[in-house]
Structure 1
């Protein structure tokens, strides 16, 4: 088993999503002691895509400048980590009803036509198939699946768009109102994970 472990919370050791991704990872590696784990902390920054990125990475060039080559190399490295993994463990703390910007930027970097998805006569087709994802959803006041939650549905959609349709959420929500109950719900979901 090759696991890609992604954290995105900006709250360091106080992060509940980091605690939950660690718990998920512990369950997976206990059941699969030979598993390899690649870790990336997105909170340290992921370069945003822009016009220069588009010209370098999406349009491409036969003679990239050093800056363009750096953009290509970064995007390729992020995508290669996903391609090499069969299991993703993703921390999804909800900030202002949505994903952390670093997690959104990571998705922007890896969503590449012809590489991670392609357009067909029947519509887009994800190319990152054969993978599963476990998502640690945490929110102080945004119940997962509610009208306020614009994060979980978007992440599920984007993963599916890229071909990752086996997605399991472990949610600790409503933490500001009743932390104990939110953590209990997450623990119950953790116990359902089949490693």
Structure 2
């Protein structure tokens, strides 16, 4: 049995979200194809993400200086418990599904905040003789992303280099040991009328269905 961690990073809107529709279809298809697997989901905009700020840093400093967890304030304990829960889920998962739109050639800020929280030294990577060495092996990840422009499906190879968010996610996961990485991209949405967008979304959803069965 595998544990699949599904991370949605899209603000709630009344409009149809291409990435969420395709992502939900992927997850449901995966669930039907792998009924024995456990799926854990987080909606980063609905739940919120603990921000790394002075409160976090002060709490971590107290622990490293000898203060026990029980001696921390109630708010500090709640904050650290949430962080540790997210970190442990990330470490223990076998597969990762990231669902997000592209924002200004990058990832939504809450997805970046989540990654900063769960990818930490000594837990997901250690300093080796030749640089960082990942500790998360034999895992796989997929990024389901929608965008207004066309980057990965463009005839111009340069366009793919502009998708810095997807490249960052792939590189970061690779650093911690997750080498099996795929992307499903629903693109060119700002240039489509509603009917064309729906048709394209359906095409990409069928692609996601095929990938989900083998993921």
TM superposition score category, shorter chain reference: 0.7 to 0.9
Runs of at least 5 residues in structure 2 that lack an aligned partner in the other structure: 153-158
CA-to-partner distance for each residue in 1:10-30, whole Å, 9 max, x for gaps? 144622211122122122222
RMSD: 2.2
Determine the C-alpha separation between the residues in 1 that align with 2:170 and 2:41. Answer: 21
Determine the C-alpha separation between the residues in 2 that align with 1:58 and 1:140. Answer: 43
Q: Of the two, which has the highest radius of gyration? A: 2
Runs of at least 5 residues in structure 1 that lack an aligned partner in the other structure: none
Residues 154 and 56 of structure 1, relative CA distance in 2, 3 Å threshold? same
- Asked if 1 retains the 8 angstrom alpha-carbon contact of 2:26 and 2:205, the reply is no
Match of 1:70 among 78, 90, 97: 78
Counterpart check, 1:188 vs 2:212: no
Counterpart check, 1:46 vs 2:54: no
Match of 1:35 among 6, 21, 37: 37
Residues 11 and 146 of structure 1, relative CA distance in 2, 3 Å threshold? farther
- Shift of the alpha carbon at 1:50? 1.9
Determine the C-alpha separation between the residues in 1 that align with 2:38 and 2:113. Answer: 25
- Asked if 2 retains the 8 angstrom alpha-carbon contact of 1:142 and 1:148, the reply is no
TM-score (norm 1): 0.88
Alignment length (residue pairs): 195
Greater percentage in helix? 2
Which residue number in structure 2 is paired with residue 81 of structure 1? 89
CA-to-partner distance for each residue in 1:111-143, whole Å, 9 max, x for gaps? 211111111111101112221112101112252
Determine the C-alpha separation between the residues in 1 that align with 2:43 and 2:10. Answer: 9
- Asked if 2 retains the 8 angstrom alpha-carbon contact of 1:142 and 1:149, the reply is no
Highest RCO, 1 vs 2 (Cα 8 Å, sep ≥ 6): 2
